[in-house]
Amino acid sequence: MKVFKFGGASLKDADNIKNVGSIIARFENEQLVVVVSATGKTTNLLEEVVNAYINKSDEAQHSLVRFKENHLNIAQDLFPANHEVFALINDLFVEIDWIIEDEANDTYDYIYDQIVSIGEMVSSRIVNAYLNIINVKTAWLDARDVIKTDEPYREAKLRWNETQTAVQSIIPPLLNNNKVVITQGFIGGSKDNQTMTLGREGSDYSAAILAFCLNAVNQTIWKDVPGVLTADPRKFENAVLLEKLSYREAIEMTYYGASVIHPKTIQPLQKKNIPLLVKSFLDPDGIGTIISGDFDAHYPPMVMEEDNQALLYIAPNDFSFVVEHHLSFLFQLFTKHRIFVNMMQNTALSFVACVTNEKDRLKMVEEALASEYFVSKEENLKLVTIRHYNEATLDELKRGKIILLEERLSDTVQMVIKNIPQLKYK
């Protein structure tokens, strides 16, 4: 039994869904659990619906119409007009209609999960229906029936024992009858049957959970790149394919921001020594990358970049030293508002933290600090991490940049940078 995960890029339109169908059909004699994300940029579009709804803007309806039209266009390209899939996805559209008809009285995170999760539900219905059209026998599964979670919303915590019991009791009979099970990534169900999400780009993690619970032979993530590369090929022309990675190296890369794999994906697979394959849906016969047990390897420099970063400069307003009780209070505050510190530095009188610039959450942190601390924020920054660095790579990455914060370990360098402003002369 194998687990496949297809992301939004592989499902962005009818032609891509046909391509996904052709890949799955290659494995018609094997048992597959297929986890799908929302199509294309659907999650971004549904986030626009959520934000507009919370802010009481008419844009909520406009964004929702675009979401519906995108999926109806895909369905019309794949199915005859009387196909049952149109009723199935329309029922899902109505769930959002019902939510935004009323005033927003629930928390942002709760509303987010109820609306944004519909993207995965719709895409899975379309993929499942298309596979049946091409005579691939499938069973559609609601992930909320097997991925059991607890709060917080938007970053749900897995209830492992209950999830394992549900997966092992529900999925094997479906596989025995149908060969292929289609389900959603990113979403789970709470004890009171509320929809919860596992964090942005969490479909990789969903697939890893299922692979772990089912003792899969392997898990494959199908991407629009050849595999795991030494850098983002959209930004670095000389990025090269890494054919093999250890679990340890993959964990380090995802921790530092490599977007090709969700950070939580590796650990469940490592526990049972389940290989993770990263392959291209554009070139299914390509080598790809295999991530498996630890092995000695000489890795080239690997570059990870995270945009939308901010530096928080925090100092007690009585000019006292920043000591343990200050740091304890700060990290309790970061935990409360779910602010992840990507990099930090402590001096006698101040604490500096590099964080993702999530404005609403940071605003609450700044307000909580206002009475006892001086707080300032520098925005529009980038966090760059280089694993297995050399000086030539560092020099190249620093060219034309201002280095605001830098930290070196034996095999890793992190830098918070901003571009040097270009002077214009009249």
236 belongs to a structural domain: no
Q: Are residues 63 and 187 in the same domain?
A: yes
Q: Which domain holds residue 354?
A: 302-419
121 belongs to a structural domain: yes
For residue 331, what pLDDT is reported? 93
CATH of the domain at 30: 3.40.1160.10
Q: Are residues 179 and 318 in the same domain?
A: no
Q: What tokens appear for 380 in the block?
A: 């529009």
Q: Are residues 59 and 197 in the same domain?
A: yes
347 belongs to a structural domain: yes
For residue 421, what pLDDT is reported? 67
Which domain-ending residue is among 160, 194, 216? 216
375 in Cβ contact with 350 (< 8 Å) = no
284 belongs to a structural domain: no
Q: Are residues 208 and 308 in the same domain?
A: no
Q: Are residues 13 and 148 in the same domain?
A: yes
Q: Are residues 189 and 322 in the same domain?
A: no
For residue 259, what pLDDT is reported? 77
35 belongs to a structural domain: yes
For residue 419, what pLDDT is reported? 84
30 belongs to a structural domain: yes
Which domain-ending residue is among 216, 248, 275? 216
Q: Are residues 211 and 311 in the same domain?
A: no
Q: Are residues 179 and 324 in the same domain?
A: no
Q: Are residues 146 and 26 in the same domain?
A: yes
CATH of the domain at 373: 3.30.2130.10
221 belongs to a structural domain: no
Which domain-ending residue is among 216, 249, 274? 216
State the total domains in the chain: 2
260 belongs to a structural domain: no
Question: How do 341-346 and 351-356 pair as beta strands?
Answer: antiparallel
List, run by run, the mean pLDDT of 10-residue segments along the chain (426 residues). Answer: 96 98 93 97 95 92 96 98 97 96 91 97 98 96 97 93 97 92 96 92 94 98 94 87 93 85 90 96 96 82 93 91 88 91 91 92 92 93 94 91 93 91 55
- Cut 0.85: pTM above it: yes
